[in-house]
Amino acid sequence: MEIWISQLFNGLSVSSILLLIALGLAVTFGLMRVINMAHGEFIMIGAYGAYMTQQIFKSALPRSLFDAYFPVALLASFVLAFAIGYLLEVTLIRFLYGRPLDSLLATWGVGLMLQQLARTIFGAPNVAVSSPTWLDGGWALMPGVVLPYKRLFIIALVAFCLFAMYLYIYRSNAGRRMRAVMQNRDMAACLGISTRRVDAFTFAIGSGIAGIAGCALTLIGPIGPSIGTYYIVDAFMVVVLGGVGKLVGTVAGALGIGVFNTLFEWWTDASLGKVLVFLCIVAFLQWKPMGMFAVRSRSLDG
Amino acid sequence: MQWMSRLPRRAWLLIGYAAAAAALFSAPLYLNDFRLNLLAKCLAFAIVALGLDLLWGYTGILSLGHGVFFGLGAYAMAMHLKLAAGGSRIPDFMGWMGLTKLPWFWEPFKSFAFAAAMGLILPSALALLLGFFTFRNRIRGVYFTILTQALVIITVTLFVGQQAYTGGTNGLTGYTKLFGYSLTSGTAKTLAYLATAAALLAAFAVCRYLVNSRFGKVLRAIRDGENRTRFLGYDPAYYQMAVFAVSAGLAGLAGMLFVLHVGIISPTMMAIVPSIELVLLVAIGGRGTLIGAVIGAILLTQAKSQLSASYPDFWLFLLGALFIIVTVFMPGGIVGLIRQARQAILRRRSENEITLDSIVPKSNGVV
């Protein structure tokens, strides 16, 4: 029983990180038909943003303030990733709309360059970010089951981001414009929505959320220039499994992959677990080729 | 310049191919061992690029998983070489992992013919299987691409994880003999090179035949309008599966030859980055043209071996920049640039002299 609970908790924790990463991917793909392979590098940017914030706190501010660095780092990561995402959209991505395969290759190139840039600036070895002391320890749920505060914090953070994202997409004017563009770009443009601005802003938000994910990852372990590549393919599988265009699909996809990945790895071993998850996804797609929650459309070549 | 236009385009093409083939087959005469080995590697990659071009340039399906098919071919050949090197003993890494008996699936690889057949059949069969479960359900475009990338991840983790059977991260190496002859001698290297060149020519001929046949026409129709092709009574899924399998088989063939030249295969060589680099070979040369794939493979592999050793940092920046430049500014690749240049020249010439050609548009030859 104890081991089941802690495994499920681990699965939930993996899912929550995956969800944060896949959120931006699903939105950009649904909105612009652009596959952003450099998305993983925004995780890396966020993680190094947290690292730099910590270095600044260490060197410039009194020791007593050190524990306050983390909220600042979260904000810094978001802003940094948001800004770089906006820049990328304006300079490159907008030339690639509607060409998913080309955008995939071009953004892969961007990712490669960003990784190499990080390697040049920060060095190739991983760097460690010491987490704030108020996240040490864990919550003893029952004898034998201790849930680390760090992972609980990450889950709470993800829940918060998800809620904010929900409010933005479904309850704000900007979100309504975004959904309109997603459903019918030409019609939305005819009604006076600046699709250019919606695209750029949405891409930047997706990047910013990936930055938050990167900041959260610094709590779990050391970070390096290629940290994004570990997560990016899994995050894409979330998008494929969950379907494009609905928040709930991404959530369900992330939960499914995260939990099953953890469970299969527990039952078999790390390498076989991944194979089983892949087989399950392919099997599931036999049943629902467009993913769990696809937006229905009458167009044939949507 | 006048005499050039007298010969028909076809004849020029044939002369060009003959010259290229002659240059390839006489390369052992004018290249030293190191250069020859490098060229052999380039030609092996050119074979993968051909297959990938058939799939991506002609059918519009992007696979990021060709490293896996390449790797399967390479592993099949390496397993045979490893067994041949060890004689009656089991391969060294199995001993380190505590195996005492050769696993059953290694047993038939003692025969070269079986290993060579498996190097083609395994990748094709895997491609056919994946194709069966995706194309039939109309999973295509980026969804398919992402699935192939996931295939790379799981294959690499599987090969690294099952260390006792695959050699783990180190892969398979430490073999020098084929049919009892040393692979490191000059003669053997020349022979291996010639075999690769012959394989490339054969692959090129097969691809050209496929592309110009009715099958090739359907492939291009699928690329340009899958649903229209469906409405015309073709089932795209079977064509897609077939071309995916052929493409994977070519990658397997290239992998087998690659192992002969390099003497090692490890999971890193079939991971995500090498797989996507294979796509760049095609993109740079010019997708949708067979000769473009070959040109791209030779140029990029040469450039990589020159630059990545001496300036590794710069190489990665360049590689990233190449991905962006090719997709944004030159989607036709090098061959596309040459075509544009030729058209510009032709246009200028026809502005100067008013000929019948410039008034009546000449019917365009089949490319």
Which of B62, B146, B223 is the best residue to mutate to test the A interface, defined by the most A CB atoms within 10 Å of its own CB?
B146
Are B142 and A111 within 8 A, CB to CB?
A: no
Summarised one tens digit per residue, pLDDT across range B24-61 is 888 787 878 788 888 999 999 999 999 999 999 999 99
Question: Which of A48-52, A244-248, A281-285, B314-318 is predicted least confidently?
Answer: A244-248
Question: What are the structure tokens assigned to A55, written together?
Answer: 């270095």
Residues A89 and A200 sit within 8 Å (Cβ to Cβ): yes
**Within an 8 Å CB–CB cutoff, is residue A272 touching chain B?**
yes
**Counts for chain B of helices (H) and strands (E), in that order:** 17, 4
The pLDDT value recorded for residue B312 is 79
Cβ burial, residue B220 (10 Å; 0-12/13-18/19+): middle
Summarised one tens digit per residue, pLDDT across range B63-80 is 999 999 999 999 999 988
3-state helix, strand, coil in chain A (%, to 5): 75, 5, 20
* B306 SS3 class: helix
Phi, psi at A140, each rounded to 5°: -80, 100
Question: What are the structure tokens assigned to B279, written together?
Answer: 């796509």
The pLDDT value recorded for residue B184 is 72
Residues B251 and B66 sit within 8 Å (Cβ to Cβ): yes
The answer, yes or no, to whether residue B8 has pLDDT greater than 80, is: no
Confidence of residue A301 (pLDDT cuts 50, 70, 90): low
CA dihedral for A234, B57, B141, A39, sign (positive or negative):
positive
Confidence of residue B200 (pLDDT cuts 50, 70, 90): very high
Average pLDDT over residues A262-275: 82
Going by their DSSP bridges, the two strands A145-148 and A138-142 should be labelled as: antiparallel
Summarised one tens digit per residue, pLDDT across range B141-199 is 888 888 898 899 889 988 888 888 888 888 888 777 777 677 777 778 888 899 999 99
The answer, yes or no, to whether residue A104 has pLDDT greater than 80, is: yes
The pLDDT value recorded for residue B192 is 86
B19: distance to nearest CA of chain A, Å? 34
Residue with tokens 């040459």: B338
* B266 SS3 class: coil
The rounded Cα B268 to chain-centroid distance in angstroms is 17
Residues B245 and B124 sit within 8 Å (Cβ to Cβ): yes
ipTM of the complex: 0.84
Q: Which residues of B touch A100 (CB under 8 A)?
A: 141-142
The pLDDT value recorded for residue B1 is 47
Average pLDDT over residues A142-171: 87
Confidence of residue B366 (pLDDT cuts 50, 70, 90): very low
Q: In terms of residues, how long is chain B?
A: 367
Summarised one tens digit per residue, pLDDT across range B105-114 is 888 888 889 9
Using CA atoms, how far apart are residues B82 and B263, in angstroms rounded to an integer? Answer: 10
The pLDDT value recorded for residue B220 is 93
The answer, yes or no, to whether residue B13 has pLDDT greater than 90, is: no
**Within an 8 Å CB–CB cutoff, is residue B169 touching chain A?**
no
Which of residues A196 and B179 earns the better pLDDT score?
A196
Residues B248 and A74 sit within 8 Å (Cβ to Cβ): no
Are B150 and A270 within 8 A, CB to CB?
A: no
Confidence of residue A300 (pLDDT cuts 50, 70, 90): low
The answer, yes or no, to whether residue B345 has pLDDT greater than 70, is: yes
The pLDDT value recorded for residue B316 is 85
Q: How many CB pairs below 8 Å do chains A and B form together?
A: 118
- Average pLDDT of the residues of chain A: 86
The pLDDT value recorded for residue B106 is 84
Per DSSP, B49 falls in state: H
The answer, yes or no, to whether residue A117 has pLDDT greater than 80, is: yes
Are B317 and A116 within 8 A, CB to CB?
A: yes
B128: distance to nearest CA of chain A, Å? 14
Using CA atoms, how far apart are residues A226 and A202, in angstroms rounded to an integer? Answer: 25
Q: Which residues of A touch B147 (CB under 8 A)?
A: 240, 281-282
The pLDDT value recorded for residue B364 is 46
Single-letter code of the amino acid located at B191: L
Average pLDDT over residues A180-201: 89
Cα dist from A151 to A148, A158, B96, B110, B310, whole Å: 6, 11, 38, 51, 43
The answer, yes or no, to whether residue B254 has pLDDT greater than 80, is: yes
Q: Which residues of A touch B227 (CB under 8 A)?
A: 300-301
Are B276 and A103 within 8 A, CB to CB?
A: no
Look at residues B320, B323, B47 and name the one whose alpha carbon lies nearest to residue B197. B47
Q: Which residues of A touch B143 (CB under 8 A)?
A: 240, 285, 289
Confidence of residue A302 (pLDDT cuts 50, 70, 90): very low
Q: List the single residue in A101, A105, A237 with the smallest CB-CB distance to B323.
A: A105
Residues B63 and B240 sit within 8 Å (Cβ to Cβ): no
Are B153 and A274 within 8 A, CB to CB?
A: yes
Phi, psi at A21, each rounded to 5°: -75, -40
Phi, psi at B137, each rounded to 5°: -90, 10
The answer, yes or no, to whether residue A147 has pLDDT greater than 50, is: yes
Cα dist from B150 to A46, A231, B64, B147, whole Å: 25, 11, 9, 5
Supply the pTM of this predicted model.
Answer: 0.87
CA dihedral for B343, B348, B353, B356, sign (positive or negative):
positive
User: Left if phi > 0, otherwise alpha if psi is -120 to 50, otherwise beta: which for A245?
Assistant: left
Average pLDDT over residues A220-225: 86
Are B147 and A282 within 8 A, CB to CB?
A: yes
Contacts of B310 (CB under 8 A, 6+ apart): none
**Within an 8 Å CB–CB cutoff, is residue A179 touching chain B?**
no
Using CA atoms, how far apart are residues A167 and A175, in angstroms rounded to an integer? Answer: 8
Residues B60 and B222 sit within 8 Å (Cβ to Cβ): yes
The pLDDT value recorded for residue B132 is 93
The rounded Cα A191 to chain-centroid distance in angstroms is 32
Residue with tokens 């949708």: B288
Using CA atoms, how far apart are residues B332 and B349, in angstroms rounded to an integer? Answer: 23
Q: List the single residue in B153, B162, B326 with the smallest CB-CB distance to A233.
A: B153
Single-letter code of the amino acid located at A256: G
Question: What are the structure tokens assigned to B270, written together?
Answer: 């079939």
The answer, yes or no, to whether residue A49 has pLDDT greater than 50, is: yes
Confidence of residue B367 (pLDDT cuts 50, 70, 90): very low
Which of residues B366 and A239 earns the better pLDDT score?
A239
B142-161 and B112-135 helices, crossing angle to 10°: 140
Question: What are the structure tokens assigned to B83, written together?
Answer: 């067994």
Long-range contact pairs involving A167-173 (C-beta distance under 8 Å, separation at least 24): A168/A205, A169/A247, A170/A247
CA dihedral for B193, B199, B200, B205, sign (positive or negative):
positive
The pLDDT value recorded for residue A33 is 80
Confidence of residue A283 (pLDDT cuts 50, 70, 90): confident
